[in-house]
A and B are shown apart, each in its own frame.
Chain A
Amino acid sequence: MRTRLAALLAAAGALALPAAASAHAVLLRTVPQASVVVNTPPAELRLTYSEAVEPRFAVVSVTDAAARQETAGPPRRSAADPNTLVVPLDRVREGWYLVYWRAISADGHPVRGAFTFAVGPNPGPAPQFVIPSTSETAATPRLLAARWLTFLSIMSAVGLAVLRLATARPVARRVPDASLRGVTAAFAVAAAVGLAAAPVYLLLATADFALRSWWRVGALVPLVRVSAFGRGMFDLWVAFALFAAAAAFAIRIDRPERERRSVAELVAAAGAAAAAAAVLLVPGLAGHAAQTSPRGLSLVLDWAHLAAGSVWVGGLLGLLVLWRSAPPASRVACLAATVPRFSNAALVSVLVLIGSGTGAAVIHLPTLASLWQTSYGRALLWKIGLLAAALVLAAANLLRTRGRLRRPATGERAAVALRRLVAGEGLLVAAAVFAAAVLSSLPPPSKALAALAGASAHVGPGRIARTVEKGGYTFAVEVAPNRAAMPNTFAVHVTHDGKPVRGAEVVLTFAMLDMEMGRQAYRLTETSPGTYAAAKPALVMVGHWSLSFDVTPPGGRQVTVLLVDTARG
């Protein structure tokens, strides 16, 4: 009863954690303002983001119409506001300037954007700037391979330690001349690979953030703990090293031939279990889980998912090693002593895996359609498919092979079948971990997708002129030139029974649909009877945007017109 109460209190505490505002750094304000003409040449450029981006990983270029660089130094953090980057400028002359920036978000995803401003009083017409790519991904093949190897080895080491210290422990007692040394050796190899792969992954990711070559280790090491993502991955490495040491000591003093454990063995096993629990919490803190509301629930689900996956993948690897390392005469007996216990552990793991995975998918995916319409959703479908195939093999083991192993007449053939099924299952689970590495490298779909069922029209790319009828009103929407990373004019002409609606309050809200970037809202001003307009550099990157026009006529109810826009560079 007391345990249940403590668990409930812990769950309530976890759910009460503050919610994260947004998963990616968003540029909120600039000085000079975007697409505005200033009369005095600015001495510096100020960029204010939704989170504290690291100046050493930020790239800000300010170029004139002839592509001449106008910055006088690297970006630095404002002393007054940690979310603001300050870039010193040369003495800029009259004319138009393009600002192009790149920053690294807290979860390690790079974000880019561009805008223009002009120095007056007579800057002339805005030139056609050539804007570099405003999209960048953290899912490069090199980073994915390193991420996969890191997570697979860490999960395998945790699962192998569980198998050696708990699940397969009775083998040494029940089967004469059986040994658990093979499983211990496999744990040592997995731990060594994890300890080597984690810093390599960290260096590769840091090299990508800093736009440097990864073999310049001396230049990269001081930057490793500079980003929030780097700090998280570094702490994962430290926690995993502590777990590897704790598990190694616990295995060293364990005497599996005795059924009852000594106090020293129990204390050591408790230390290894605590370290494993801590290691499995760190990836969630360094990734999407800590940036997705509700954060407490996301972290609990991520932890449970990783723990269950570790027990499964490490256990499968351990069973194969146990088979290979046992003397041929004792193989069937070894498996008969281990498989029933592992099957029970694997069944619980699979149930936890499905439950926590479904919960996390509900939190991360705003609509069911985002499962097949976004790259994040498609990676998730791959992962589900691979795990479902592994489950079919696991079910065959559980329902058929386990019983046949115990009978002397069928034991030998069942053991061969089991080895093949376990090898296939292990490969599928390893592939599912790769799908998870892809999944956690992609930005989760935007929450704004949830509102798209009520979209009035899909528009773009290119100039928009679309008329929409809603709530007895006619809305003629125009967006020109509807291109990303440059100022666009957004206008809506509102009429009712053919007459312009004057004095309405019109708010236009932008939300990026391809990744979570928060929302920007602007009030449009009435430029002519019934026409409300503003020129804003609001489409900060290439992709799909939701444009929500909230129109409140004088004395009337608010009518919302939602357009899904495709903006190209």
Chain B
Amino acid sequence: MTVQTRLFLAGLAFGCGVAAVIVAALLARSVLG
């Protein structure tokens, strides 16, 4: 696996993490008001 591929997959993983946090934060805002 090339360095570029590894960095790309790491970026994807980090992006998924940020997206999951955003999903939870939006739900928290709608529930807690």
User: Which A positions have Cβ atoms within 8 angstroms of B?
Assistant: 17-18, 106, 228, 231-232, 235, 238-239, 242-243, 245-247, 249-250, 252-253, 262-265, 267-275, 277-279, 281-282, 285-286, 290, 295
Contacts and interface: CB of A to CB of B under 8 A. Distances in A.
Interface in B1-33: 1, 3, 6-7, 9-21, 23-28, 30-33
B20 A252 contact: no
A290 B27 CA distance: 11
B27 A231 contact: yes
A54 to B, nearest CB: 14
Contacts of A17: 32
Given A262-B6, A264-B6, A270-B14, A295 B20 contact: no
B13 A250 contact: yes
B27 A232 contact: yes
A472 B6 CA distance: 82
A285 B24 contact: yes
Nearest to B15: A271
B17 to A, nearest CB: 3
A272 B32 contact: no
B10 A264 contact: yes
Contact of B13 (A238, A267, A279, A281): A267
A272 to B, nearest CB: 6
A228 B31 contact: yes
Nearest to A271: B17
Contacts of A262: 6
A557 to B, nearest CB: 40
Contact of A239 (B3, B9, B10, B23): B23
A18 B32 contact: yes
A242 B16 CA distance: 5
A244 B11 CA distance: 15
18 contacts: A106-B31, A232-B31, A239-B24, A242-B16, A243-B16, A246-B12, A249-B10, A249-B13, A262-B6, A263-B10, A267-B11, A271-B18, A274-B20, A275-B17, A275-B19, A278-B20, A282-B23, A286-B27
A249 to B, nearest CB: 4
B1 A246 contact: no
A235 B27 CA distance: 7
B13 A282 contact: no
B30 A231 contact: yes
A249 B16 contact: yes
Contact of A242 (B6, B7, B19, B30): B19
A562 B33 CA distance: 36
Contact of A253 (B6, B17, B27, B30): B6
B14 to A, nearest CB: 4
B14 A18 contact: no
Nearest to A267: B10
A20 to B, nearest CB: 9
A163 to B, nearest CB: 18
Given A239-B23, A242-B23, A281-B24, A273 B17 contact: yes
Shortest Cβ-Cβ A-B pairs, 3 listed = A271-B17, A271-B14, A274-B17
Instruction: Give the interface centre of B11, B15, B21, B30 by most chain A CB atoms within 10 Å.
Output: B21
A262 B7 CA distance: 10
A18 B33 CA distance: 9
Nearest to A251: B13
A290 B14 contact: no
Nearest to A232: B27
A281 B1 CA distance: 34
A231 B28 CA distance: 11
Contacts of A268: 9-10, 13-14
Contacts of B32: 17-18, 285, 290, 295
Given A253-B1, A275-B20, A278-B23, A245 B31 contact: no
A249 B24 contact: no
Contacts of B7: 264
A286 to B, nearest CB: 8
B15 to A, nearest CB: 7
B33 to A, nearest CB: 7
A239 B31 CA distance: 16
A235 B24 contact: yes
B26 to A, nearest CB: 8
A250 B10 CA distance: 7
Contacts of B12: 245-246, 249
Contacts of B23: 235, 238-239, 242, 278, 282
B19 to A, nearest CB: 5
A242 B17 contact: yes
A232 to B, nearest CB: 6
B31 A290 contact: yes
A282 B9 contact: no
A193 B33 CA distance: 33
A186 B2 CA distance: 27
B16 A245 contact: yes
Nearest to B29: A285
Contacts of A247: 13
Instruction: Give the interface centre of B15, B23, B25, B30 by most chain A CB atoms within 10 Å.
Output: B23
B7 to A, nearest CB: 5
A53 B1 CA distance: 53
A271 B28 contact: no
